[in-house]
Structures are given as C-alpha cells and as structure tokens.
Amino acid sequence: MFRDGGVRGILVPRPFTHGIPETRGFPLQLWERLNRQVLKHYGTKALLHGDPQGCKPLRRAIADYVNLERGARATADRILVLTSSQQAMSLCATMLLDAGDRIFIEDPAYHGARRAFDAAGLESVPVRVDRQGIVVEQIIGDPRGAKAVFLTPSHQFPTGAKLALDRRLALIEWAARNQTWLIEDDYDSEFHYSGKPTACVQGLDPHDRTIYIGTFTKSLFPSLRIGYLILPPQLVEPMTVARTVLDGHTAQITQLTLAWFMEGGHFGAHIRAMRAIYAERLKALARLVEKHLSPFVEARVPIGGLQMPCVLTCNISERAAIEAARRVGIELFGLSALHASGEAETGFLMGFAAYTPEEIEVAVKALANALGSIPR
Ligand SMILES: Cc1ncc(COP(=O)(O)O)c(C=O)c1O
C-alpha cells in the first residue's frame, strides 16, 4: 500500500488531469447563502454530532435524485452517507469480504478500487472488458466464483464502455444464484453526451445483491468529500456501525448545505449546465486531437464522463509520452498500469472537463510539439 502511494487527488489540476470537474464557475455565492441559512435554521444544533448514517434531508434528496435520474430503487433508509467513493470501497472490502477472498474486478480497472481491495488483503481477479463492458461469461464460467464483483457499468473506467443491458441482467441473475455482491461504482454517470443513459444495475436488481456507490466529487466538487452507498436492507445497520468505527459521520453542516442545494433544484440545474459545457469541451478535444495528434494516437471518444482515452499508435512508449508531456506542463494518466497484464494497449487518459476549449487548444498543440520532439 505504501509503495503504491495510495490514492491522491491532484492539488492543482492542469491540462489534462483526468476526473476533475470545472470548479471555476461554481455558484459559490449561492452555496455560501445556503450555508448561512442552514446555520440560522439549525443554530447550535448543527454543531453537535450527527446521525452516522447521514442526515435525513440529504438521504431523502439523494434517494429522490438517484431514483429519478439513475433508475435506482432507493429510499432514504437505505442510504449511507460517507466521505467518498473511496471510503465506500474500503468499507465494502472490509465488511463484505475477508482477507484472501476473491473479488472479480474489471481489466483494466479503477486504481482506487484495486488499492482498496489490495489493502484489505483481497484477491482481485481481473475480468476482460470489451466494447460492451465487462465480459460476464468469464465471470459465470469461473468455477471458483468470488464473493463480489466490482464494476463501473455506466461508464467503464478507463475505457468508457457502457455495460450492455443483457450483461447487466445476466450478472444480476448470476449474483442472486451465487449469493455474490455486485459493487456498482456510478462515479460520473451524471455526464452523458450522446444516447440514453442505461438504468443503473441497482435499479434492475430485484434480488438486493447490488451495492451502489455514488459521489459528488465529479458532479459538484472534489473537496466536498461526500459520497454515499445505497445498500440492501440487511446491510444498512452493519455498514452504519462499521462507519462509526472509522470516522463517526460526515461533516453535518456540509451535509445540510448540500441537502438544501439539492432540494432547491440547484443540483439538477448545475448538472444540466455542466453537461452542456463538458459536451462542448469534449467535442473541442476530439477535434483538436484529430487535427494535431493523429500521427501519435487514436482517440476513443467517450459517450460520457470527464476524460477521453487515447491509444498510442506510433513507436513512442507510454512512459516517454507522459514524461515529455510533463516537461511542458501537461498531465497525462497512463493506461497500461490499469491493466492486470503488462501487455495491454498503451496510451493515456486526457481529462477535458476542467479546461476551456482555448486552454485545451493551447495544451494539445504543446503536446503535439512535445511528442514530435521525442527521438524515435
Ligand atoms: C472510477 C472512479 N470511482 C471513484 C472516483 C473517486 O470518487 P471519490 O472522490 O468520491 O472517492 C473516481 C475519481 O477519479 C473514479 O475515477
């Protein structure tokens, strides 16, 4: 765990740091006003300990949102408010599985999840991902099975694949038959730019084998530190008790401010506004990569999310590309380390959400120069 360096967010993002939303236009004055109103309304009561499961108004607001927008089957009673998806993954790893247990993970996989599972001593079993998402036949055909499956079905990290509906249904039936948990990380599903979003696995699962992880890191801002779980009824009490041992509860005033932000319709409005901005930025990035970087990479334009994967198509190594970019102030996130085997496609993720089209243009041109100057 120490060797891997944990899971750190970038403190000062620069193009093309991935997974970062645009925060420069965030309605801070509105947030500040709601924060003041919360303090006025609750007074010093807001300074006391809060419910370890999360404050009720926020749980209600989250349930309304995920039911409407993600096709989930949530009630406030089944939601556990946490500080992040990362905390949710660690909690799942330690509460649902024992050290040495097997967990199926996507290959390539989100590094934060893999590190949480490694830290809990789990055996992560990689399962291939194709254009339709995780290859479910590989899971069903594995005679050793596993206690859980971790997946990012609405927007696979990092490939961007959306898990096909028939695979979702097959996985749900298999999980019910085998009493396996499905851990669904729905980290950036608010942002889809083409086609219709598919209902989340949790909403399709009549057997209550799915644990849904949500976060406000992408939809609002990373420093908020609010994520949540939608739990099957029998897990609510044990998971809530487990979280009291970790950190008691999430900061109460922040939770209440977020609840009022959501109840007032500001969350929905913010998502709609950011979705339009990000769609435009993705279009700009895809066009600029095609124009300036096509001798080096092939872009895999995603249907949603905050980053675009690019696969190297020239004889430059991934490491050389990343180092050359870093020398000119550009951040790329390598793809090969996310694969279980070292023989994967090489390339990188380019975050686009936090940068204006003008900033993207300057950085793409600088990257083209940097890649062009690598001796081959
Ligand atoms: C797949 C995935 N899940 C979760 C997260 C992180 O969310 P949180 O900040 O809530 O831990 C990220 C952030 O990059 C991510 O890419």
> What mean pLDDT is reported for the chain?
96
Read off the pLDDT of residues 158-201 as tens digits, 9 standing for 90 and up. Answer: 999 999 999 999 999 999 999 999 999 999 999 999 877 889 99
> CB-based contacts of 223: which residues, under 8 Å, 6+ apart?
none
157, 223, 228, 350: which to mutate for ligand 1, most atoms within 8 A of CB? 157
pLDDT for position 9: 86
CATH, domain range 268-371: 3.90.1150.10
- Determine contact, residues 338/111, Cβ cutoff 8 Å: yes
In the 8-state DSSP scheme, what is residue 216? Answer: S
**Residue 239: other Cβ atoms inside 10 A:** 22
CA 43 – ligand 1 centroid, Å: 33
**Residue 291: other Cβ atoms inside 10 A:** 12
Residues 249, 52: Cα–Cα separation, whole Å: 4
pLDDT for position 334: 96
Q: What is the DSSP string of 97-143?
A: --TT-EEEEEES--HHHHHHHHHTT-EEEEEEEETTEE-HHHHHT-T
Cβ–ligand 1 distance for 157 under 6 Å, the answer yes
Name the residue with the closest Cα to ligand 1, atom 13: 19
CA 217 – ligand 1 centroid, Å: 7
Q: For CATH 3.90.1150.10, list the domain ranges present in the chain.
A: 268-371
Cβ–ligand 1 distance for 185 under 6 Å, the answer yes
Residues 319, 280: Cα–Cα separation, whole Å: 30
pLDDT above 90 (res 221): yes
| Residue pointed to by tokens 């870093």 | 326
pLDDT above 70 (res 342): no
Q: What percent of the chain has pLDDT over 90?
A: 93
Q: For CATH 3.40.640.10, list the domain ranges present in the chain.
A: 28-266
pLDDT band for 349, please (50, 70, 90 cuts): very high
pLDDT for position 127: 97
Q: What is the DSSP string of 154-175?
A: SS-TTT-PPPPHHHHHHHHHHH
Cut 0.85: pTM above it:
yes
pLDDT above 80 (res 156): yes
Mean pLDDT of 52-56: 98
Name the residue with the closest Cα to ligand 1, atom 15: 187
| Residue pointed to by tokens 């479910």 | 136
pLDDT for position 62: 98
pLDDT above 80 (res 355): yes
pLDDT above 80 (res 343): no
pLDDT for position 194: 84
pLDDT for position 195: 79
Read off the pLDDT of residues 281-340 as tens digits, 9 standing for 90 and up. Answer: 999 999 999 999 999 999 999 999 999 999 999 999 999 999 999 999 999 999 999 999
- Nearest partner of 350 among 337, 367, 338, judged by Cα: 367
pLDDT for position 3: 79
Read off the pLDDT of residues 235-274 as tens digits, 9 standing for 90 and up. Answer: 999 999 999 999 999 999 999 999 999 999 999 999 999 9
The topology (CATH level 3) of 28-266 is Aspartate Aminotransferase; domain 2 (3.40.640)
